[in-house]
Amino acid sequence: MYGIAMAKGLLVTLKNLAKKPFTVQYPEERVKQHPRFRGEEFVWYEERCTGCASCAKYCPLGIIKIVTTPSETAPAEGDKYRLEVFDIAINQCMFCGLCVEACPYDALFMGSGFEQGQYSRKEMVIGIDQLRQAEKRPSTFFRPQLEDAGYDPKDGRPLHWEEVGRESWQWHQREKAGMMIDRPVPSDLLPQEPPVDSSFVEDSQAAPAPTPGEEAE
C-alpha cells in the first residue's frame, strides 16, 4: 500500500534515535587505531638500510625511487652503499605494504599517521630528508617483533634503529649500516638488547678495528 515504505523508513529512524552513535567528531575526537594500522607515511631507518632497493623492485606501482653511490668506506660489493635519493610518491601509494614485506633488513616500516594532506602532487613525494627527520613510530604491520613486544605507535615512544629488527643490532653495526653512521646508542637500550637469532651469534662478535695501513690496501 502507498506510504508503507515511508513508515518502515521512519521506524528505522525511531529505532536508532536513542542509540549511541558509532561516529566521532573528528578531529576533536579520535578512534583508537590498531598498532598494525598502515598510515600514509613511512618510517625508514637509514642506519639499517643497505640501499639494496628490494622495496623499490617489489612496489607494484613503481613509486619508490632509490639512487645509491658506492661508499668510500665500504666499497666491496655487497657492502653498504650511500643513499643519495629515497623518494616515495605517496599520492600514488595504495598502502599495500609490499615494500615493507620485501625489506630484508627491517629498515622500512609503514607509518601510522594519516594527516599528510598537501595542496599539490609535487608536495606529496616523501623525500630522503623527510624520511630521515620523521618521528620513528613504526606501525607493527608485518613486524611481529614489535607486536610481540606490545608496541603501540600511538602510545609508545619513538623507537631507535637498534631495537626494531629481528636480529641482533650488533650484526648490522658490523656488517651493514651502523658502522657507517656514528650515532650513540641510548644507554637504556643496551641492557634491553633483543633476543639474538642463533644464526647470528657468531656474527654478533665485535670485529677488530682495522689499522690505517689495512684500510689503505
Q: Rounded distance, CA 110 to CA 90, Å?
A: 12
Q: Work out which of 37, 39, 55, 153 binds ligand SF4, going by CB under 6 A.
A: 55
Place of cell 620523521: 134
| Rounded (10°) CA dihedral 102, 105, 108, 112 | 100
Nearest to 137 by CA among 121, 118, 170, 114: 114
> Is residue 164 close enough to count as binding ligand SF4 by CB under 6 A?
no
> Is residue 94 close enough to count as binding ligand SF4 by CB under 6 A?
yes
Q: Rounded distance, CA 135 to CA 111, Å?
A: 9
> Is residue 146 close enough to count as binding ligand SF4 by CB under 6 A?
no
Q: Which lies closer to ligand SF4 via its Cβ, residue 35 or residue 165?
A: 165
Angle at CA of residue 96, ends 93 and 97, nearest 5°: 100
Q: Work out which of 39, 41, 88, 153 binds ligand SF4, going by CB under 6 A.
A: 88
Q: For ligand SF4, which stretch binds (CB under 6 A), given 45-53, 116-124, 135-143, 195-203?
A: 45-53
Q: Work out which of 35, 39, 43, 108 binds ligand SF4, going by CB under 6 A.
A: 108
β-sheet with 64-70: strand ranges across: 64-70, 81-89, 125-126
Place of cell 623507537: 159
Q: Work out which of 43, 50, 113, 165 binds ligand SF4, going by CB under 6 A.
A: 50
> Is residue 103 close enough to count as binding ligand SF4 by CB under 6 A?
yes
Q: For ligand SF4, which stretch binds (CB under 6 A), given 7-15, 20-28, 88-96, 206-214?
A: 88-96
Under the rule (CB under 6 A), what is the footprint of ligand SF4?
Answer: 49-55, 59, 61, 63-64, 66, 88, 93-99, 102-103, 105, 107-108
